[in-house]
Structures are given as structure tokens and as C-alpha cells.
Structure 1
Amino acid sequence: MFKKYFAIMSLSILSTAIPTLADTAVTDEEILSHSFKTISFEEGEAPIKITASTGVWGSVHHEFSNDYATDGEVSLKVRYEEGSSANVTLAPADGSKWDFSDDRMILAYDVTNPVAEAGRLVTTFKYDGGSISYQQNIEGNTTKTVYCVLDKEQYSLGADMLPSPVGENGMVMGSGWGGANFDPSTISSISLRYSLDGVGYYIFDNFRVVPNPLLNPENVYSNIVDKFGQYTKADWPTKTHSEEEMHERFALEDAQNAIWVEESLARKDRSKYGGYKNEDLRQESTGQFYTTKIDGKWTLIDPDGYPFFSTGFGIVRLDGMSTWISGREYMYEELPAKDGELGDHYDRLQNTLSPPSGVKAGDGFPFYEANLERRYGDNWLEEWGKNATTRFEAWGLTSIGAWAEPKLFFGKGSEHKTPYTAFTWTTVSSGKHIRLYDSVPDPFDPEFEKSTRAALNSQAVKYNINKDPYCFGLFVDNEFKWGTSMTNNSLIKAVLDDDIANEKSYAKKHFLTVLQDKYDTIEDLNRAWETNIASFNELGKSYTGKISAEDGGVLIYEIANKYYKTVHDVMDELLPGTLYLGSRNTEFGTPTEVIKAAIQYVDILSFNNYNEDVQREKFRVEEYDMPMIIGEFNFTGTDSGLFAASGVGTQPERAEGYINYVENALKSGNFVGVHWFQYYDQPILGRSWDGENYNAGFVDVVDMPYPELIEASRYVYDTMYETKFNHVPMTNIDVKNPHINMDLGTTAQIEAITTPLNLNDDINYYTSNAYVATVDKNGVVSGVSEGEATITVKNANDLFVVTSVNVTVGENIEQTALAFDDNAKEIVTTIGATIDLSKYLELNAIEKSELEWKSSEKFIATVDQSGVVTAHSSGRVTIVVKDKNGYVTDSVNLVIQ
């Protein structure tokens, strides 16, 4: 039996845990006398209080264990259930505070990620008056030491991530958020959060005070960047060591690309736009791109009438890719002279989000640009643009995504022969309209329509994109912060906080009118909101009280509806025939209310989605039947000299991720394109605007391609139309062994049967508790420790086709279970009919009131929360039932005639 509260370890053990670092004036005695006493969950330590969140934001289960203990014999093993805001919190049991105001000493702790998938870890320090959070990725199957440097001047060096100053197994916390009036002398608790959807696992140990490894950044990070903008302390296959080597490699690449381009242009199964030249699938030729459904699958149609799937890059431009020089000159081994050959590339930076600490304005330098001049000479920009489209043809990329260079690509399709999207902001600082929260506009402000008109004129109409058949659409704006909670939402709070006495309180005035139409009296509103507001006039003043979730959703919908309608109407007037591609909302931060507004006005619904595939519940695909496009996705690595932590580790893993992601979109039936962010890597020390420094590109800072990604792209291009139109969709999964009891250390095979048969390669398996049972990609379950787990068995290409398997390791314990009987595996019915699916459901240790029902396509059939389905139109639909408190689930396919 492990005890929760314990005292400081012996001096001899503590001393061995302190890194030996130069330039540190901290003594062992000072560390021992620090207010924070070591927490290793061993007997005899100072008492601490451990709490875990539960409920709507996710649940956390924690226990003491002997697994992965890094100091002593005990560790804290944590499992984070669905919900990215769940956390476990450590605090002094007596309510005292920890004082970290002496920046020579910091907190460090060990964390193990025991599963193969990388996780995101957020560390939050609560202090008097606020909190401050930091985040970093923890690679799968690793143990890391996290160093919590709280002094912004030491960790805020203009880059999201820098190489660890304490060896490959150590990491300094990455940049985060919060910290207003930060007082490190009053730390009252430390919270640890998984910060990704799904189930997450971390094992924590050895929270201790150590000398600060970043006390003198100049000693740690001197000369870490070479003249090409590459890391000096490592080597990798595509690293450039000299200009001679650079030119030799580019000559070889140019020769290979010429061969590939010739082969591509000779293909008889591709149109001049890159479409699928299959006469059986050809549609009407209109001279412009449009969307339609073929065999129930959404697709773009190119101007000649052939099906088209859009792949390509965002950021085929050079603006915004400078990196800070001022304030960190010591990091660069060699910089060009300002009056020398490459000196014209220096630029002046100011008003950025993440400058080096203490720097407000100064010099920046775009190494990628300079390397292009080294390659092409004085005419580098034009030559770069030409070579880019040559590469895209050779690599099998069919288009260009958002943020292309307007003067090189917009309105010039007849020259570069590459389909492209245009992009514009209505939110630029020149617009005079009101911003409600962050960049979210007040669309009820008459100035917003003027801002929209000005934006489209300057970035789209100016280039005649609607007259260019190669332009297939326009993105307008990017990643608004709508908020996901309808009761605790910064955008909602900003509107309610306004006073209608303010002449420009347009959104608040509109919302008040909506409320007065909905509620006959203020008493009716008070009952709904559980408030005691005196009158509607009182509500019209600055209001900071609570609001009902329903009416919070109404406000978000009203704002989104007016926003999308305004942009749509201006586009319809100025750019007739150009597809409206939406506002590139985030997958994780877009509420259903925004989606329901957008689908009324956009031609293609766009999301930015940095997950392993496009099957995301938060897309709410059950709410609409329309084409979708991914504006941003990628897989980044850490094996090419860049520091930002990633979801995968290597270039081959990036390539595998690319293939899986694109094929998943092709098989979905909803997606008409996916765009990789971005063409080239971000600067090694961070882009000047916000410090991002990911291995995001298909090419590096020297413009050298990553061969694995090029081969992946060519493979996808060669097979993508056959994948899209010949793919046989899986409509049902059944398992022969829905209950598995196994001994510790043994394995068992899940016996899955698909409809149609033999589609098992398209099944994904997920465990609810990897501490008890793991499952591999083939459905082989391994018993890890005694207990219970549920394995979700899911169609990789349709999140609604799903079932589950209960697993017990050790003693066979009765578990919650549900399953449709054999009579319900595929039901045929007619429009207007109703069916009670609960009659076909077999339940064990669960009540019908504990179930949650969902339809995959509400426009075909809806299902209420008692399981009664109503058929609305012909087609196929999947109905999913789930234990709302757990993971057991099953699905049934209905055919409506």
C-alpha cells in the first residue's frame, strides 16, 4: 500500500540528481533549504495534496506505482480520459506557498510517456492572482526531465523551442500562456495536463529543485547556427556543408525533376489541370472549378469537367520568414555583412509577438531567402517561383494552398499551369471595424462590410482571380478564436461586457434584440439563465454575470451567421463564380454553432487539422452534406536539426503520416483536398512573428528536398484517383469475441468481421487503458496488468462505423456491455418511417438512460436519445450508440429507400 503524503530524500540521493552545470553559484545547502521539498512519492516526504479533475472537461485517474520510478521505488501513474483540459494537481497539504523567486534555482521533474504515441504536456503554476502555463511535446516511449525555467528573460529567446541545455533526455518548458502579474514567490500548486483529445498517459516522479541551466543563455547557445541557417551541433543526410555541395545537389535534383515532369505531362489519365481524365466520370465543362457528388462522394471538378483532388502547400511565399538577429547575435556562427553580397536581405522587425526578451525592435534575417540568392543569383525570386511549380508537377502536387505569393501566382495560371487558391484577411489592422475579441470582427458594424470589400479588392479582384480558370477558390481569414464553451467564453464575455450606450456596441445591441424576441419578460430570461437581472435595460449595460449555454450558443451563431453572410455577399458581387472556401477554422476550437452558420454560405467548408487523419468528431459531419477541405496539416520531425518537438520523430515517419492522411481524406467521401503547411521549414530560431520553428517543410532552409516526402507525394499522386473512386466503403464491423478474459502477460486476437468482407486493413484499434491492455494495429491485445479495458474497433475512414471489445486481465469481472443483435446489422426502411433501435440492443450492466445516440447524417435520418430513428431521405446512414460514461459502443447501418 502506497502512502500519499511523505519528506525530503537523503542528501546523497538528491546530490546525484543535480546536473553538473558551469556558471552556477547554487550550493547543495541552498537547494536543501528551498521552500519546495522533493516529491518522489516515497515514505517520509513532506505531505502533499493530490487532486484530479473530473466531469465535462475530462477525467483523470491516478495511482501510486512501481512503474518507471526514477527516484526511489514509487511513481505517480496518471491516465487522462477524453477531454483535453483534465489535469492532476500537486499542492502543499498545509496550504503553504512555494517560493521560486530566486531564478538560480528551478523546479525539475521526470515524466515518462509509456505508449508509442507522442503527447502534449502542459505544466501550470498557480500563484496569487493568476496562473501561468507552459507546454511541450513528450515523444512516445521516452522518459524526459522537464526543467521549469520561470524567468521569461531566460527562456524567451524568440524561439518556441531550443536545444536542451541538459542533454537529449532533458527539456526546458516551451512557451505557453497566462502570467499576468506573475509572482513566482507565491506558487500554491502545480497542475499537469495531457492537452490532447483522447486517452493520454504520463508517469511522474522526482519533483525537485535543481540549478537553473539557462542562467546564462549566451554560454549555452553560442554559435549554434551556421551561415546557411542550420544547426551546427549535429549532422543529418540532407544537411548542406558548402555552397559547392549545394550546387551539386541541386543539379542532380533538377535533372531528376526534368525526367519526372516529362513523365507526368505524358500521362493520358490526367487533365491539364491535374484532374482525373476518366471519361466515365467526366462532368459538365464550365471553364471554372466547381464541386459535385460522384457516386455519393464529393469532388472538385476542373474547368474541363474532370474530377480533381487538391493537394499542395500553404506558404508558397517568402513574407514573414525572417528570424530575429538582434538580442541573440551570439547564437550565429557567421552572418552576412549588411553592406555585403547578401546584406539586402536584412529587414527591420518590430511589434512582433515573440521577440527575444528585452528587444522591441531590431534586425531580422531570412536565411531561406539568402540561400535562394546563393542558388539563383540576382533573379532569385522569379527563378524560385518557376522552380516551385516545376517541382510541384514533378512531385505530383496538384495545386497551391493558402498564402501563395500573389505577384507570382495570382491571375497567372496560364503561365505557371498550376491550380491555386487565393487568400485574404478581413482582419488586417487597416480595417476600421470593431474587433470583439482577438481578431473576431463585429460583423454588425457597418465598417465590416467595407473592410471585407477593401480586402477582396486589394488581394483578389486586383489580380482578376475570378477570370483565371486555374484559381479554384478564395480563403477569407484564418483560425478565429470562437471558443468552445458557451458559458465560459471570452468572445461571449466581450460582447456582454459592452454597454449599448456605446454608439459602436453593434453586436450587443443585436443580441439584446434577439433576447427580447425570445423572452416575453426579463423573468423568463432569469429563469433560463438562473440569474436575477433587473430588466433588459440593465442587461444592456456592461454585464459580467453568467449566461445559459443555450443563449451563449445563440450569440455565437448570430455573430458567425452575419460574418459569413457578409463575406459571401461581397464575394458574390466582386468575384462571381469563385468558390468561397471559408475561414480555415481550427478543428479543436470551432463550436457547432459556427459550423451551422458557415454551411449556409461557403461553397467548401475548411478546417485546419493537425491530427493523424481527417476523421474528427469535432467536424460535426453529421450536421451537413457538403464538400470539405483541410487548409493546414503536417507531420514534423526532429532529425533534421530543428528543435520544436513533434508528433513524429523521423523523415520516414513524416512520409508515412502524409500518405495515411491523404488516403484517409480520399476515402472519406467528404474531402476535396488537403493542404500541407508549409512548403519549406520554419527558421531554426523561429519565425520573427511568433517564434514557431518546426520541421514543417518538404524542403529545408537551404531549399533542399526531403527525399522521403517527395517519394510519398509521388506515390499518392499516382494512386489517389483510384483510391478515391474505387474505394469500397466499410458499412459495419462485428467481432466474434466481444468479451476477452486473459492472463497477465498473454495476448489475444480480436476477431473482426467487416461488411463488405476483408476490409480489415481499414480498421483502427484504440485502448481505453494502456496500463491494463494494449492493442496493436492488427488487433492483437496484450495483457499488461490486472484490470479492465475497452478496445474501440473503428473504421479508419468513417468514425461512425465502430464497435468495441471488453477486456479483463486477471480475474474475469463483469463489465458494462452493449451490442446490436444480428437482426439489426443492416436494416432497410423507407422515407418517413420510424424505427426503435433500442429493441435490437443487448445490454449488460447498463441502463438505457445511460446511452448516447448519434446519426452519421442527420439530413438522411435522425435519432433521438431513446434510440428512435426517423428516416428523412434516401441513402445510407449509420447510427451509433455509446455508453455516455464510458467507451463501450456499437453501430448499425440503415438503408433508406
Structure 2
Amino acid sequence: MNYFQAKKYFGAISLALVVNIIPLNATELRLEATDADIAAHSFEKISFEEGETELNITTSKGAAGNVQYEFSDEYATDGKTSIKVRYEEGTSANVSIARQDGKKWDFSDDRMILAYDVTNPSVVSGRLVTTFKYDGGSISYQNYVPANATRTIYCVLNENQYNIGADTLPSPVNDDGMVVAKGWGGTNFDPSTISSISLRYSLDGVGYYIFDNFRVVKNPLLNPSITYANIVDQFGQYTKSDWEHKIHSEKELLAAAEAEKAQNEIWAAESLARTDRSQYGGYKNEDLRQEATGQFYTAKINDKWTLIDPDGYPFFSTGFGIVRKNGMDTWYAGREYMFSDMPSKTEHLGNHYSRLNNTMQPPSGFKSGDGYNFYGANLERKFGDNWLQDWADDAVLRFEAWGITSIGAWAEPELFFGKGTKHKTPYTAFAWTTNSANGTHVRLYDTVPDAFDPVFVNSTKKSINDQAVKYGVNKDPYCFGIYVDNEYKWGKNMSNNPLVNAIFDDDIANEKSYAKRYFMEVLKEKYTTIENLNTAWKSNLSSFDELGKPYKGKIATEDASMVVSMLSDKYYDVIHTVLDELLPGTMYLGSRNTEFGTPIEVIKSATKYVDILSFNNYNLDVIQENFKTEEYDLPMIIGEFNFSSNDAGLFGINGTTVQTQQERANSYIKYVESALKSGDFVGVHWFQYYDKPILGRSWDGENTSTGFVNGTDQPYMELVEASRYLYDTMYETKFNHVPITTIDVINDDINLQVGTTAQIEVVTSPLNLNHDVNYYTSNAYIATVDDNGIVTAVSDGEATITARSSNDLFVITSANVTVGEDITKRKVNFKNSIKKATMAIGGSFDLSNQLNLTNVAINELNWTSSKKAIATVSNKGIVTAHTPGRVNIVIKDKHGYTTDSINLVIQ
């Protein structure tokens, strides 16, 4: 199929390109390419117009994620045609572009680069991975594209030019450009042999991008010292724009501080005078009061998990991570040209320079050099010589005034740990077992510890003693728990798990090969003969002795799952045992696993040993399938979440970037309220207290606007007001919220013509809770749906509109929308007579006989129970009741998006 034939075809695709790199001295000025150089380049413009070079466009399929594309006149930035891409489930879903004749592109002359335009038509920001395939390998770069925005991506391939210590650089041309950010790959990178350009959405769920105008342009970062000269002022602020609360002088800084403190003192006094709050910030409601133990603990009240404060009152934890002095250094060395009006090391504020070594993302070519802490310097300007203690006192005043009930992970130990009776703010302790200072136990993959290493017990004891016990947190009633470790890379894919691969790539002859020796014995007991193992693994090993040597072959998914289960079980067991010994009575808050990358094996292990299960969750709310809440009944806490915006001088973008500060505040309210209404969550901690440095944290380059205060310590008042609102309403929301138990769509089969609309008619039980319903479309290129359930037909085809409780994954249904005529549709729903039913404990019921199916077979359905402890459902639809309670059963088409649910009462 040639390019112009493909224009009439709605198919699946995948793209790829390549470029060579010449190291440069950042201070060396070079002449830019001429128009003649660009005209002679091997890459000819791609705008998907008639007469252009014929292309080979391909897409991923199957496990990698399906992709569909079509050519469109929407969002065309050059000519009349763009390529509109829809990415289905799968973070590897991609579309790839290459020349039809197989000729390669030569980007070895770094005076010229590829640029292209991308539009994100979604209401949320999306992750975009650009991959260039070259002879012998590939190299990938990543960016986040804001919601409802068009951006030009500048593919600067010379690492010396783009890798200057920050995840995101400001637009080098106008305000709508983005330089590709460092990703992965690139071994023996040869930019003269680029054969394809691949474009990935790279997030779970359905995603949309529209691409156009791939062209060669002059490299805007050919001379970074000119492009980015003096872009940061003496306060660490961007010099190229202005915004509300930007500081222009030290006098302004001090005046703002004085005014804010006066307001905070009024608010704090009002808060402390409230009679409905305990001394710990708990909900002083005698009807809900539990036993007063002198320590925090968890309990269920009205079937809702909650923290209980030391006086016995319900408590919900809001708070910030990173209330500490460390973490705000940014690289100065290697990019001195970016800064203006910097003090010398011997001048006033010169004490905020530091020596940086071996960080994760230094400016290219640097392993060590000077850094500078603008936030610390601004605090010294604001508070004077005793700035650190005064800053801590001011933070506590702010938290009381703003309705922040606690402090999250990574608080400054010397300022907060063991000092609750002084600052009167509940807090969490934190300890790393991975810190090299805490022992010499084996790390298996990344920083995942070998929990079978006998040294790991001692490492854990040392870390808990050094980072928690010595500060007396176990004797401080304001400490409600301790996190241990953060975001381990357990690997979610059991068919090719890097952690498991690393274990078996070891040699049991190695003295420190503890994990592999342990699992070798497990496998010998399970299989008894190597022939049995070979059958399961599809391997050809001659003996277990051969397996004991470094092994890089296939590993059965079942056994990889077993390895992760047993390793994580041992890990949590060791830490739980040490905490019981050293911090008796202090709750174990888990290891802050990622929402997106934690396998069910690890979650199940954690639930055996933790008091509260913790996740870091950067999404719009806490209602996420990856938490697997159907598998357990345990209180949960969010260790990290945030929302960022670029309207106040920063330019970093992440997956939860919104457009304005008010949108940040609105998103914050929605997120916290989703936790309050869930019945499972006892707290959510915003990451982090203050913005990251404009040019990136020194150790990893992150530079998003994710603070409640900015780099000059000015609060974002929209967030402050949102927090004060939540403090006023949080306990009423938590304990008075009535959850939806069933949801139905009356008009579940809708036919529209392009440009017309229809209202999804939802009925809930209890009635009139439609404001707690969220709507989603399976294909926004066919039909969109707004927050009120109004569907708009966009083009011919089929889409599924899902209606779901905003506070429960398992209260869900869908409507089928067809646009145009003679459109094949798939549909599944329960019969109305079974929408609410009662079962007796021990009974079973076949739900497969209670379905209405259109073009969907019984064996094409997935069945899920919302609480497996109450009732389970087989893959054939047989429900078995186990314990009293209320449970939802959900069906979903394996090959589509149509879904429905029913509510069962077990008694």
C-alpha cells in the first residue's frame, strides 16, 4: 500500500527516524545552517499532502497496544492534511513513519534538526515518546504535551545541547516549542542512518495525538549560551515573563512576607479556637469517637477506614512531602550563562553554593561542580541568619492557617521528628534501607534489595535506628507512622520481568547470590527434574547446575510471579519484624509503591505486613484499577500526588499539568474529595511543599511547578483557599457521603449524525446522585462526552460511553453510540431484573444467564468482583457468596469497552 492509498485507509501504525551527534563545548559559538543547507538535507518535509515522498506508515498491534490512524483536515499546521492517531490500551502503542523506498535520513550535521507539530486534543496532558531507529539500535526521547494544546517538538539530538541538567527546557522559539527531553537507548548512536521515527502515547488508557509538518529547521540550541543567556534572575525566577506574585526586589519579598504572616496568624487563631477539632486536628465528634490509646491507629467507622488520633477522634491526613532544607540545589556549573546577578562565594548569600557530585542528570560532560540553592537564599533574605528554624516555624503556622493536618514524607528530622509537642503537627517518619550508609546488603535490580541476604536485616535495623529511633519518633504521639523506602522497580510484566531476569542472571557460585540460591531450591522442589522445568519454561537446560550459572533465557510467567511474590513477602516481613522491635506501636505505612508499576504480587505481600498500604498516585483521583482494592480490605494512603501549571514562570510539564492556578486548586479539591468519599483512604500527601528549581533539581533535573509555594516562598493562594475549604468540609464529606450502589443508562443505544448531540440519561441508586458520575468515551474521534453526559457526534463510527461512579470503580455501566448508518456495534449489559439481588452466604448463582449480548460472546467477557472476600465470580460468571456485605459484579467486553455492573447483597 503506498502513501496515497493509505490516506483512504483507517489503520494501525508506528513511526521512526535517526541522527548523529558531535560533542561541543557549550561556550563555543558556531555558525548556523543556511537555507541552502536545509534545502539539501536528506529529510524532505512530511505534511501528508499530495506530491510528497511516499511513506511507509506502520502501527503496533496486540500486546504492545493497538493504534489506529487516519488522515484529516483537523489541526493541520501546514497545508490541509494532518495525521490523526488514536492509541489504545498499552504504554508501548506506537505509530512509525519511514520512507517507502527504505532510504535513510542523515541528521549527523547538528546545525539542522527535525521539528514537528503535535496537537493533544484531550482534556489531560499526555506523554509523548519520540524514538529514532538507526543502524544497530534506537534512541528515545520523552515530553509531556499539555491538554488542548499544539506544540512544536524540536528534536535536538546532540546531548551536549539538550542535556543541560533540566528535564524540560523553555521554548527556544516563540512560546509553543518543546525541546526533546532525555529518555533511553542510544548505544553507538549513529544519526546518519535513521530509518524511522516512532511516536508513542506511552500512558495507560486511550490517548490521542495529531501530527503534522515534519520538517528540517535550524537548530535553535546550536549555541545554548546564546539561546538561554540570563534566563534566571537573582531570585531563581524566569526573566522572560512576568506573573502575579513575581518578586522584583528584596523589599517586595519582605513586604509580601509581612502581609502573609499577618493573615496566617488570624487564620491560625481561628483554627485553634474551633471546638470541633481535637488537639491533633481530629474530628471532635463524640458520636464517632473511638478508644483513646495515646497513639494514632486505624479503625473502621460506618464501614469507612479512618485514622484515629491519640485522643480517639477520627483524623484525615493531608500534608506535604519535602518539608526540609535539602533537595533545592540546582546545577550552576556548566551553565553559568543561564544565570544573572549571582553572588560570589564570599559575598552575602554565597553560602548557598554547594558541591555536587555523581548526580543522575548533570549538565552534559559534568560529574561534579557547583550548585546553588535559590530557595535557601530567598529564605535567608526573608528570615535572616536564623532562616532555617524561622522557616520551619513559619511552615507550621502556615499549615495551621491553611488547614493542612499533617506533614508527609521527607520532613526535616532535626526540625520535626520527635518534636510534635512543640510544633503540634502530626507527621510521618521516613527511612531508606537502600542508602549505602545503612549497610552492604545486595541490590538485585536498580535498588531492590535482596531480602534473603542476611545483611538486609542489619541494614534495616541501622536505617530505622539512624533515621527514626534516634529522634524519638516512637515516643512522640504526633508521629502517626513511618514509610520505609520508595518506588521500588518490582516490574509489572511477569513474562519478561527485569528484576527476575537479574536474579537468574547471577551465578550461585557467587558468595552473595542469596536470592538465586534460594529460588534454585524452590524450583528443584517444585519440578524435581530439569526436564519438567524445561517443559514449563520452554528451555533446553541440561541440568539444574546449568541453571545455577548465569541464565538469560525464558522464565515461565508463573515462576516469575512466584519469585516476585516470595521476594516481596520476605522484604515486607523483615521490615515489619524490625519495626515491631524498634518502633513498637508506630504504624508501618509501607513502601510508597507506584500506582502504575506495582504488580499484584507485591501488593498482596504488602497487605500481610503493613498497617496502611501506601501508593504514589499521579492521576486525577484515587479511584484507580491498579490499586486492586478488590483483593484486600486495608486502609490506604497516598504518599505523592500533585497538579502543576506553567502560568507562573516555570515550564516543566508532567502527567497532571493543568492550564491555570485555579485549575490546580479545583483539581486538588476533586482529588482529596475522591479519597474522602472512597471509604478506603485515610490520607493524601501532596508532593511537594515548594516548587522544584526552575532549571531542575540537581540530582535528577525535575523542574515542575508542583509546590504550594514557589521558589521565592510565595504561596499559590488558589491552592491555599482550596485547602482551607477542604479543612472545613472534609469530615462532613467523609462521614456523610452516600455512595452510589447501582448505576444504569436508560438510553443505552444511541444513534447520531455528525454534529448532533444527545444527553446520557443516568439513573443511580440512591436516586439523584448524578453529580457523582464521571463519563468517558472510548473514541473521542467518533464521539465526545462532557462532564454532564452530553455526547457530541464527531465522525462516522462506533464509540462506547462509560458512566461510572466517581468514587467506585465497580459501579459502572455504558451506552453504545453509533454515528452514521449501518455501523456494527458490540454491546453487553445485565438484564434489569438482576440489577439488584440478594444472596445467602455459601450460595452460588450463574450470572451468565442474566445478560443481553450484541455481537459479543460469553467467552469474550471479563468478570470482576469488587470485594473478593465477600463474593467471588468465575470466568464463566458463577458468583459464590462468602461473607456478609455488599459487592458489585462487573462485566466487560475483552475486545472493546462496553461494560455493566450489578449490586449484590450477601446476608
| TM superposition score normalised by structure 1 | 0.97
Amino acid at match of 2:587: L
Q: State the match for 1:437 in structure 2.
A: 445
1:374 equivalent in alignment to 2:381: yes
Moved more, 774-783 or 88-97: 88-97
* CA apart distance, 1:740: 0.4
- For residues 295-330 of structure 1, what are the alpha-carbon distances to aligned partners after superposition, in whole Å with 9 as ceiling and x for unaligned? 111111000001110000000001121011111111
Query: Does the CA contact (< 8 Å) of 2:692 and 2:704 recur in 1?
Result: yes
Of 620, 630, 633, the residue aligned with 1:622 is 630
1:866 equivalent in alignment to 2:867: no
Q: Find the aligned partners of 1:219 and 1:345 in 2 and give their Cα distance.
A: 26
Report 1:349-364 matches (<5 A): 349-364=356-371
Q: Find the aligned partners of 1:632 and 1:25 in 2 and give their Cα distance.
A: 44
Of 147, 150, 156, the residue aligned with 2:154 is 147
Q: State the match for 1:515 in structure 2.
A: 523
1:825 equivalent in alignment to 2:835: yes
Of 315, 326, 339, the residue aligned with 1:332 is 339
Amino acid at match of 2:832: D
* CA apart distance, 1:23: 6.6
Of 699, 703, 715, the residue aligned with 2:713 is 703
Q: State the match for 1:466 in structure 2.
A: 474
Query: Does the CA contact (< 8 Å) of 2:798 and 2:824 recur in 1?
Result: no
Q: Find the aligned partners of 2:522 and 2:872 in 1 and give their Cα distance.
A: 28
Q: State the match for 1:19 in structure 2.
A: none
Q: How many residues are matched?
A: 882
Q: State the match for 2:577 in structure 1.
A: 569
- For residues 799-847 of structure 1, what are the alpha-carbon distances to aligned partners after superposition, in whole Å with 9 as ceiling and x for unaligned? 1110001101121524111111111111111111111111111111110
* CA apart distance, 1:571: 0.6
Report 1:577-726 matches (<5 A): 577-646=585-654, 647-726=657-736
Q: State the match for 1:220 in structure 2.
A: 227
Report 1:104-253 matches (<5 A): 104-253=111-260
Amino acid at match of 2:791: V
Q: State the match for 2:95 in structure 1.
A: 88
Q: Find the aligned partners of 1:337 and 1:31 in 2 and give their Cα distance.
A: 43
SS in 1 for 2:255: helix
Q: Find the aligned partners of 2:496 and 2:381 in 1 and give their Cα distance.
A: 52
Q: Find the aligned partners of 1:94 and 1:252 in 2 and give their Cα distance.
A: 68
Query: Does the CA contact (< 8 Å) of 1:5 and 1:43 recur in 2?
Result: no
Q: Find the aligned partners of 1:483 and 1:686 in 2 and give their Cα distance.
A: 27
Amino acid at match of 1:30: D
SS in 2 for 1:399: coil
1:889 equivalent in alignment to 2:899: yes
Q: Find the aligned partners of 1:88 and 1:485 in 2 and give their Cα distance.
A: 22
Q: Find the aligned partners of 1:501 and 1:129 in 2 and give their Cα distance.
A: 34
Q: Find the aligned partners of 2:201 and 2:5 in 1 and give their Cα distance.
A: 22
Moved more, 809-818 or 820-829: 809-818
SS in 1 for 2:64: coil
Amino acid at match of 1:608: N
* CA apart distance, 1:128: 2.5
Moved more, 87-96 or 853-862: 87-96
Moved more, 63-72 or 495-504: 63-72
* CA apart distance, 1:73: 2.3
Moved more, 73-82 or 600-609: 73-82
Query: Does the CA contact (< 8 Å) of 2:709 and 2:716 recur in 1?
Result: yes
Query: Does the CA contact (< 8 Å) of 2:506 and 2:516 recur in 1?
Result: yes
Amino acid at match of 2:790: V
Of 26, 36, 42, the residue aligned with 2:33 is 26
* CA apart distance, 1:127: 2.0
Q: State the match for 1:385 in structure 2.
A: 392
Q: Find the aligned partners of 1:31 and 1:318 in 2 and give their Cα distance.
A: 49
Moved more, 93-102 or 477-486: 93-102
Of 774, 778, 783, the residue aligned with 1:768 is 778
* CA apart distance, 1:459: 0.4
Q: Find the aligned partners of 2:394 and 2:171 in 1 and give their Cα distance.
A: 36
Q: State the match for 1:62 in structure 2.
A: 69
Q: Find the aligned partners of 1:24 and 1:72 in 2 and give their Cα distance.
A: 31
Of 836, 844, 856, the residue aligned with 1:834 is 844
- For residues 730-776 of structure 1, what are the alpha-carbon distances to aligned partners after superposition, in whole Å with 9 as ceiling and x for unaligned? 01110110000011111100000011001111100011111111000
Q: Find the aligned partners of 1:791 and 1:372 in 2 and give their Cα distance.
A: 51
- For residues 85-110 of structure 1, what are the alpha-carbon distances to aligned partners after superposition, in whole Å with 9 as ceiling and x for unaligned? 21111123333332211111111111
- For residues 131-187 of structure 1, what are the alpha-carbon distances to aligned partners after superposition, in whole Å with 9 as ceiling and x for unaligned? 221111112222211110011000011111121011112211122222222222222
Q: Find the aligned partners of 2:38 and 2:349 in 1 and give their Cα distance.
A: 49
Moved more, 36-45 or 766-775: 36-45
Query: Does the CA contact (< 8 Å) of 1:766 and 1:791 recur in 2?
Result: yes
- For residues 181-216 of structure 1, what are the alpha-carbon distances to aligned partners after superposition, in whole Å with 9 as ceiling and x for unaligned? 222222222110111222111111121111111000
Q: Check 1:211–1:5 CA distance in 2 against 1; reply closer, same or farther (3 A cut).
A: farther
Q: Find the aligned partners of 2:904 and 2:112 in 1 and give their Cα distance.
A: 63
Amino acid at match of 2:625: E
Q: State the match for 2:420 in structure 1.
A: 413
Q: State the match for 2:317 in structure 1.
A: 310
Q: State the match for 1:425 in structure 2.
A: 432
Moved more, 45-54 or 221-230: 45-54
- For residues 439-463 of structure 1, what are the alpha-carbon distances to aligned partners after superposition, in whole Å with 9 as ceiling and x for unaligned? 1111111111111111000001101
SS in 1 for 2:436: coil
Q: State the match for 1:556 in structure 2.
A: 564
Query: Does the CA contact (< 8 Å) of 1:4 and 1:47 recur in 2?
Result: no
- Identity within the alignment, %: 67
Moved more, 885-894 or 430-439: 430-439
Q: State the match for 1:784 in structure 2.
A: 794
* CA apart distance, 1:465: 0.6
Q: Find the aligned partners of 1:414 and 1:25 in 2 and give their Cα distance.
A: 63
Query: Does the CA contact (< 8 Å) of 2:325 and 2:388 recur in 1?
Result: no
SS in 2 for 1:359: coil
Query: Does the CA contact (< 8 Å) of 1:24 and 1:211 recur in 2?
Result: no
Query: Does the CA contact (< 8 Å) of 2:163 and 2:181 recur in 1?
Result: no
SS in 2 for 1:280: coil
Q: Find the aligned partners of 1:405 and 1:321 in 2 and give their Cα distance.
A: 13
Query: Does the CA contact (< 8 Å) of 2:483 and 2:591 recur in 1?
Result: yes
Q: State the match for 2:504 in structure 1.
A: 496
Query: Does the CA contact (< 8 Å) of 2:126 and 2:207 recur in 1?
Result: yes
Q: State the match for 1:100 in structure 2.
A: 107
Query: Does the CA contact (< 8 Å) of 1:392 and 1:398 recur in 2?
Result: yes
Q: State the match for 2:740 in structure 1.
A: 730
Q: State the match for 1:742 in structure 2.
A: 752
Query: Does the CA contact (< 8 Å) of 1:80 and 1:200 recur in 2?
Result: yes
Moved more, 474-483 or 91-100: 91-100
Moved more, 419-428 or 41-50: 41-50
Q: Find the aligned partners of 1:642 and 1:755 in 2 and give their Cα distance.
A: 45
* CA apart distance, 1:677: 0.3
- For residues 477-521 of structure 1, what are the alpha-carbon distances to aligned partners after superposition, in whole Å with 9 as ceiling and x for unaligned? 000111111122211111110011111111111111111222132
SS in 2 for 1:572: helix
Q: State the match for 1:14 in structure 2.
A: none
* CA apart distance, 1:248: 1.2
Query: Does the CA contact (< 8 Å) of 1:77 and 1:202 recur in 2?
Result: yes
Amino acid at match of 1:98: W
Amino acid at match of 2:370: D
Q: Find the aligned partners of 1:24 and 1:848 in 2 and give their Cα distance.
A: 67
Q: State the match for 2:4 in structure 1.
A: 3
- For residues 14-68 of structure 1, what are the alpha-carbon distances to aligned partners after superposition, in whole Å with 9 as ceiling and x for unaligned? xxxxxxxx97531233223322222222233223211111112321111222222
SS in 2 for 1:400: coil
Of 64, 67, 77, the residue aligned with 2:84 is 77
Q: Find the aligned partners of 1:410 and 1:780 in 2 and give their Cα distance.
A: 51
Q: Find the aligned partners of 2:722 and 2:543 in 1 and give their Cα distance.
A: 63
Moved more, 388-397 or 481-490: 481-490
- For residues 249-299 of structure 1, what are the alpha-carbon distances to aligned partners after superposition, in whole Å with 9 as ceiling and x for unaligned? 111111111111111111111111011111111111110011111111111
Q: Find the aligned partners of 2:193 and 2:484 in 1 and give their Cα distance.
A: 45
Amino acid at match of 2:865: S
Amino acid at match of 1:806: N
